[in-house]
A and B are shown apart, each in its own frame.
Chain A
């Protein structure tokens, strides 16, 4: 699509109507995962390993089965054998086989007539363990003396001679690295670490599963992607995907963590063993922390060359990441993102995906990019300070733009980093004077965004109102945005469009709401589906008028003659065409199925002011600015919400959140009281600026906006704390004790 087609004003796009799910949510009427019940329902509970690494010698469930009210117990013996690859990983993570691989790993599950009975029954299951040596730190897991967690798990990419815990290796780059560093006036190398953090969604995982002996089943579940739930659960259980019908509930946050399975196959396996009675399972918060995917932890080494004027000449990164006891740490995407914001003549990247005795990591908002930004953006800031350069000017000097060859290879199309940096420079927050112990930090960030498999259906109702069926659960206002795009395309009122997230039987395969894709991909498909419906409505009008369908246009929600030669007919509104559709050929609908291409990357720039208490090391965020390219903000309030949400999560990751293990590898802080996410009183109002550089790959110019916002906060906070205290922290979280220690070290004791 030509750029001039998408650079125009719109009737509805860019407005801020009420969200269609708003009343349900504020009145408590919205149905979340745990709100679903069914007649004859049983309650499930999971017995979890108390050990970080232990061989399972024996499981005796006889006493549990004898407890009145207990209807079924499942162990790994109730699941099929012979799975390979990621299907095996999913099955092994669902329920341990021979070895429990982390504290919290499921070992057995019970279904009973009440939740209390199910929990009592767990205490009656006897498990004999042989405790094995464990490791939870990524660098410790690569040492020669580290216990091999799953020998043979390494894939084709791993060179010979590395520890068996290294399961994936990647290297790539371009340019002459040696010449690049030789051309620099300043070369610096530093090491950084980030701890694993959890997505921290407010709603714990919950589902209701029913599976009969005939292999037919249903599931109601809180998820970002019910086709993924269907495919994964079917694979783990050895049933046919089409026989499992999965319906998503409303979702109380996901952030990537609800794109995979945890308890869902257990509910189905218990149901199958209990004669097909439905089984409801709801995780506690401690189970969520112990057994669902946090993001990876990372150890990173970065080397950068810079000229005196701030020009970047070379960049080198080595990232080591652990994603638990299974392959999947986002080391590749972290490396792709590391230098993606800058035009650098020579770059080299090396990455290691390493197994540890921790839960299987799951996607978390721009997987890998926040860690990469923490290392690279911290070092750039440090070098700017050493050379006395303005960190925003240096970023602007090196910023990628349309036509720049990216650090990971491809040449960028239209992107908005330069515009975002300029908007940040112009923002009033930049001219607020700072006081004692206060500092300002800036950082840039990037995420690719994703298209993915998408299927959308649109139906015209008898009164001319419109129903859109999508397969991407609404985690950030996508129903409102899709309704706006549909109404804009059809020329009707926003209120006349209802967008429903429908079950797996209603559409073709849809990938989850991940990769910032729902508004982009489902929205794009809805627009094309609407165009199909418009073509059919024009055809019906043409038939009524006795003219050629090509002689009919669609304007303001009505069919009209295309010009004076087409004839003189009054506009035929959608309601009139809809009222007659039963007698003019039947129902009118539109569909579009595609693996959506044309994704537009999104860049962001954050500026934060902090005050650090020199006596306690506590960091207070005084003001925070997010500037990001949205392509086109369909519903600006939700775009701003994504920007603010990403910043809030990033602030938590930067300042307080971390997984803390004891010497035995047990997680010590699996509740929100001890795992410190930022609450409203910790944060100022987060200011936002929406930059709009339209994405030519979308009819209205949309880029995904959900993920980039979590990328810059980690380094922006580190840079602000360094500015406030003179102390540079290179290890997250920058909690008060660590900041205080850094301040004291800076002062020489």
Chain B
């Protein structure tokens, strides 16, 4: 968690959650830190191992590299 998000994660830089799918991961993040809810509700692009994944029911593996970015479209 970069500094802006640490305001809503009680200052934690790393947040651990248990999840089988991306959707569960997002829900678990909100459950652990409700302050994250508006960030996620505003729309996020989920990158898994460098690829934007659009199916949030996709499974998550322990070794996956996952990044949440603000939802991006283009012009």
B38 touches A155 (CB 8 A): yes
Nearest B residue (CB) for A157: B4
Segment among A32-40, A364-372, A560-568, A651-659 that sits at the interface with chain B: A364-372
In the complex, chain A residues whose CB is within 8 Å of the CB of B54: 451, 594-597
A448 touches B74 (CB 8 A): yes
Decide yes or no whether B3 CB sits under 8 A from chain A: yes
- For the complex, give the distance between the alpha carbons of A448 and B2 in Å: 22
Decide yes or no whether B15 CB sits under 8 A from chain A: no
Decide yes or no whether A98 CB sits under 8 A from chain B: no
A366 touches B74 (CB 8 A): yes
In the complex, chain A residues whose CB is within 8 Å of the CB of B14: none
B67 touches A707 (CB 8 A): no
Interface string of A248-278 (1 = CB under 8 A from B): 0000000111010000000000000000000
Nearest A residue (CB) for B8: A156
- For the complex, give the distance between the alpha carbons of A505 and B45 in Å: 28
Decide yes or no whether B69 CB sits under 8 A from chain A: yes
A514 and B74 contact, Cβ closer than 8 Å, known pairs A171-B2, A409-B67: yes
Decide yes or no whether B55 CB sits under 8 A from chain A: yes
Nearest B residue (CB) for A156: B38
In this complex, how many residues of chain A approach chain B with their Cβ under 8 Å: the count is 49
A363 partner, pick from B49, B50, B74, beta carbons under 8 A: B74
Decide yes or no whether A333 CB sits under 8 A from chain B: yes
In the complex, chain A residues whose CB is within 8 Å of the CB of B52: 448, 451, 597-599
Decide yes or no whether A332 CB sits under 8 A from chain B: yes
Decide yes or no whether A412 CB sits under 8 A from chain B: yes
A336 and B39 contact, Cβ closer than 8 Å, known pairs A170-B4, A410-B67: no
B72 touches A170 (CB 8 A): no
Closest-CB distance, B42 to chain A (whole angstroms): 7
B51 partner, pick from A155, A365, A697, beta carbons under 8 A: A697
In the complex, chain B residues whose CB is within 8 Å of the CB of A410: 47, 49-50, 65, 67
A707 and B75 contact, Cβ closer than 8 Å, known pairs A155-B42, A156-B39, A170-B70: yes
In the complex, chain A residues whose CB is within 8 Å of the CB of B47: 409-410
Interface string of B40-75 (1 = CB under 8 A from A): 001000010111111100000000010101101111
A516 touches B74 (CB 8 A): yes
A367 touches B50 (CB 8 A): no
In the complex, chain B residues whose CB is within 8 Å of the CB of A256: 74-75
A367 touches B75 (CB 8 A): yes
Closest-CB distance, A62 to chain B (whole angstroms): 43
Closest-CB distance, A509 to chain B (whole angstroms): 13
Interface string of B10-47 (1 = CB under 8 A from A): 00000000000000000000000001001100100001
B69 partner, pick from A336, A362, A366, beta carbons under 8 A: A336
Interface string of A419-449 (1 = CB under 8 A from B): 0000000000000000000000000000111
Closest-CB distance, A114 to chain B (whole angstroms): 36
Nearest A residue (CB) for B36: A156
A597 and B53 contact, Cβ closer than 8 Å, known pairs A156-B39, A157-B39, A411-B65: yes
- For the complex, give the distance between the alpha carbons of A450 and B69 in Å: 13
In the complex, chain A residues whose CB is within 8 Å of the CB of B4: 157, 159, 169-172
- For the complex, give the distance between the alpha carbons of A701 and B73 in Å: 20
A363 and B73 contact, Cβ closer than 8 Å, known pairs A157-B4, A598-B51: yes
- For the complex, give the distance between the alpha carbons of A173 and B2 in Å: 7
In the complex, chain A residues whose CB is within 8 Å of the CB of B50: 410-413
Nearest A residue (CB) for B71: A332
In the complex, chain A residues whose CB is within 8 Å of the CB of B51: 413, 597-599, 697
A515 touches B49 (CB 8 A): no
Nearest A residue (CB) for B53: A597
- For the complex, give the distance between the alpha carbons of A600 and B47 in Å: 12
- For the complex, give the distance between the alpha carbons of A155 and B4 in Å: 13
Decide yes or no whether A474 CB sits under 8 A from chain B: no
B73 touches A452 (CB 8 A): yes
In the complex, chain B residues whose CB is within 8 Å of the CB of A333: 70, 72
Nearest B residue (CB) for A365: B75
Interface string of A352-394 (1 = CB under 8 A from B): 0000000000111111000000000000000000000000000
A450 and B74 contact, Cβ closer than 8 Å, known pairs A595-B55, A597-B55: yes
- For the complex, give the distance between the alpha carbons of A157 and B38 in Å: 9
B55 touches A515 (CB 8 A): no
Interface string of A555-598 (1 = CB under 8 A from B): 00000000000000000000000000000000000000011111
- For the complex, give the distance between the alpha carbons of A199 and B4 in Å: 33
Nearest B residue (CB) for A336: B69
- For the complex, give the distance between the alpha carbons of A704 and B67 in Å: 22
- For the complex, give the distance between the alpha carbons of A88 and B52 in Å: 30
- For the complex, give the distance between the alpha carbons of A450 and B43 in Å: 14
25 pairs from A and B in contact (CB 8 Å cutoff): A170-B4, A173-B2, A199-B75, A255-B75, A259-B73, A333-B72, A363-B73, A363-B74, A363-B75, A365-B74, A366-B74, A367-B74, A367-B75, A408-B69, A410-B65, A412-B50, A448-B52, A448-B72, A511-B73, A514-B73, A517-B74, A598-B52, A599-B51, A599-B52, A707-B74
Known pairs A170-B4, A363-B75 / 19 extra A-B pairs, C-beta < 8 Å: A155-B42, A156-B35, A170-B70, A172-B2, A259-B73, A332-B72, A336-B72, A363-B73, A410-B50, A448-B72, A448-B74, A450-B72, A514-B74, A515-B72, A597-B52, A597-B53, A597-B54, A599-B52, A707-B74
Sorted nearest first, the 10 A-B pairs with minimum C-beta distance are A256-B75, A515-B74, A363-B75, A409-B67, A595-B54, A410-B47, A156-B38, A172-B2, A332-B70, A171-B4
